[in-house]
Amino acid sequence: MKNFETIKELWKVQKETQINYDSIMKSVTSDQNKYAQKLIVQTICVSAVLAIILNIWILKPFFTWTTHLSMLVLCFCLVYFMVIQLCDYKKVRQFNQHLLKPQDFIEYLKQYKKGSYLLNRRNYKIYTFGIGFAFLLILFEMYFILPFWVLLLFTIITMGWFIWSYLFIMKEYIQTENERIESMISQLERIKNQLKE
């Protein structure tokens, strides 16, 4: 039988961390670069798609106002996507939250995870709805240009894809995310209860 003081003696024979000062500095730089790179790549991709849409919008003569509205909605969706990404990055990088008292920090994390989950779901729905609405508006123009069976095929495929995405892919994604977030929140709740005085 060992008492606590004997156990404490064991503690003095310890392994040390493999992390050194240089690797931390390397991580700081690479973290900053990765963040900047991700932003640049996303901005370039969104700008390229935006440029293509604007190009089509300006150069192609459209006959119906619905197509013009559709182009506007598409542009709005892309900009909306970009703004959401930027806001997300900004939120994640609010490091000063790590200095809160542990119990306040856990509460903050719980609220943050719940809030960002709900916000992301809402944003995704707005984004999908916007893109779907834009496609619907384009169909009016296509009605005058394309042969009926091509239009029908295009409509069926597009609608099929949206229904499949919404009812199956998104449903499964939401379910998995829901389970993940519930598990996280219950763990955070448990830890928060441990910190109560």
Partner 1 sequence: MEDKDILFKKIFHENSSKIYHLCLGYAGDEDIANDLVQETFIKVWQNLEGFRNQSQLSTWVYRIAVNTCLSFLRVEKRKNNDSLSSEHIENLADEASPKLDQINQLYKSISRLEENERIIITMVLDEIPYPEIAEIFAISEGNLRVRIHRIKQKLTRIYNQYEKF
Cβ proximity to partner 1, 47 vs 97, nearer residue: 97
Cβ of residue 175: shortest distance to partner 1, in angstroms?
A: 15
Measured distance CA(141)–CA(66) in Å, rounded: 7
Q: Is 16 in the site for partner 1 (CB under 8 A)?
A: yes
Cβ of residue 4: shortest distance to partner 1, in angstroms?
A: 5
Q: Is 58 in the site for partner 1 (CB under 8 A)?
A: no
Instruction: Kindly state the tokens that stand for 21.
Output: 């000062």
Cβ proximity to partner 1, 68 vs 180, nearer residue: 180
Q: Is 14 in the site for partner 1 (CB under 8 A)?
A: yes
Cβ of residue 183: shortest distance to partner 1, in angstroms?
A: 5
Q: Is 91 in the site for partner 1 (CB under 8 A)?
A: no
Q: Is 90 in the site for partner 1 (CB under 8 A)?
A: no
Per-residue x/- mask for partner 1, residues 166 to 185, rule CB under 8 A? --------------x--xx-
Q: Is 195 in the site for partner 1 (CB under 8 A)?
A: yes
> Would you list the DSSP string of the chain?
---HHHHHHHTTS----S--HHHHHHHHHHHHHHHHHHHHHHHHHHHHHHHHHHHHHHHS---SHHHHHHHHHHHHHHHHHHHHHHHHHHHHT-GGGGGS-HHHHHHHHHHHHHHHHHHHHHHHHHHHHHHHHHHHHHHHHHHHHS-HHHHHHHHHHHHHHHHHIIIIIHHHHHHHHHHHHHHHHHHHHHHHHHT--
Per-residue x/- mask for partner 1, residues 30 to 49, rule CB under 8 A? -x------------------
Cβ atoms of 184 and 112 closer than 8 Å: no
Cβ proximity to partner 1, 105 vs 162, nearer residue: 105
Cβ of residue 65: shortest distance to partner 1, in angstroms?
A: 49
For CA atoms 50, 52, 57, 58, the dihedral sign is positive
Residues that bind partner 1 in the complex, under the rule CB under 8 A: 1-4, 7-8, 10-11, 13-19, 21, 23-25, 27-28, 31, 95-96, 98-106, 109, 180, 183-184, 187-188, 191, 194-195, 197
